Amino acid sequence: MGSPTAPVQEGDLLAGKYRVEKILGQGGMGVVVAAQHVALNQRVAMKFLLNSALENQESVGRFLREARAAVQIKSEHVARVSDVGTLENGAPYMVMEYLQGQDLSQVLAARGPLAVSEAADFVIQACDAIAEAHKLGIVHRDLKPANLFMTARPDGAAMIKVLDFGISKAIGENHGNSGAVTATGMIFGSPLYMSPEQMKSAKDVDHRTDIWALGVITFELLTRTELFVADTLAGIVARIVAEPPTPLRSLRPDAPVELEVLIQRCLEKNRELRLADIAELAVGLLPFAPSHCRPIVERIVKVVKGAGASISLMPPPHPTMQFGGQTNAAWGTTNSGAKKKSSAAPLFIILGALVFLGLAGGGVFLATRGKEPEKKAATEQPEKPVEEANAKKPEKTTEPEKTAEPEKTAEPSLL
């Protein structure tokens, strides 16, 4: 039916083939409608710019970038684009698959914090789309819960679709605006999910800005709390650039320590210390995700690392790393807990060596005792001096019998 201010109404025919059913959403720059392809009898979502936005070259460029990026990415976790064109008024449009469900910001508002396994599942699915985008040299730059849409597969299982590649950037591409905030005050990206480098210069970001955003999203899915909150945009920027992020387990004590460390790795302010690529994030999340996520992670690794790569070849997150422990630019080194655990191994080795030496010593002693009488008989001579000398030897050889040495043969019962 539409509203009095809507640019289209129910029943309007757009581009000569799409019949408008209802308006799904409208913003300052564009509108999305549900429509029916009259020839194919197929329901689709149709997105186009408002007349007022056509004079804004950045808005037109953003719209076209979204269409180009969505067409290139073949992952099932991106909303498919089936058609692009221009309406009668000159406004560009794109036709996408029609999705039923909710975005993750709506899911959080309705349900509260997600279970660890569910959050890991959803972020891994998003990683699948972003891995392919990164492989094509496309950085999303606007990942947030509102751009992760939860729909359902035919079997009812939840499926995540990544939306809105409108401010996506091809690596090496320069869009003319060097800063994240333009002279008109327009922010390219959502401040709460922007990396420190994106805050400083939107043109200089690379794929690691998306890793930062996914770390913030994972934190929010698990806590239903925005990570960097302030009363003003300047306050948000200051917190992101200068303040350490809140530890996950301070708000979600039941979360695994390793998951907390993984999120911290996503949120390194120096991107050189951040996870190297989206595959490392997916592999790090896999231990906390449902089993059906493994094929997705395997595909992500192959997309990012190459066809011959596998999960087993990826550097895994350190299983004993504790939050706040010493880490390095890879997956972390050691912590005090790991050192204490490893110190037990040398102790068992030493005890085992002592037991072995004890048994070996006991065996040599018994063998020596068994051969001693033969040696003595063979060396006996009629001469008295020799007999006297031999008579003294048993006194020395019998000394061990007075000790507890033979009792070493009972040591195997202690093993």
Catalytic positions: 142
- Do residues 285 and 123 make contact, with C-beta atoms less than 8 angstroms apart? yes
Tokens (6 digits) for 332: 């972390």
Please, what sign has the CA dihedral across residues 129, 134, 140, 143? positive
**How many other C-beta atoms are found inside a 10 Å radius of the C-beta of residue 394?**
12
- Do residues 101 and 52 make contact, with C-beta atoms less than 8 angstroms apart? no
What type of residue sits at position 269? K
Tokens (6 digits) for 74: 């073949």
Give the list of residues 6+ apart from residue 403 with CB closer than 8 angstroms, or none. Answer: none
- Do residues 201 and 179 make contact, with C-beta atoms less than 8 angstroms apart? yes
Beta 81-86 vs 30-37: how paired, if at all? unpaired
- Do residues 331 and 279 make contact, with C-beta atoms less than 8 angstroms apart? no
What type of residue sits at position 128? D
- Do residues 248 and 255 make contact, with C-beta atoms less than 8 angstroms apart? yes
* CA gap 300, 77 in Å, rounded: 12
Radius of gyration of the chain (CA): 35
- Do residues 202 and 180 make contact, with C-beta atoms less than 8 angstroms apart? yes
Please name which of 15, 27, 23 lies closest in space to residue 86, comparing C-alpha atoms. Answer: 15
What stretches of 80-220 adopt beta strand conformation (E)?
81-86, 92-97, 102-103, 138-139, 148-152, 158-162, 169-170
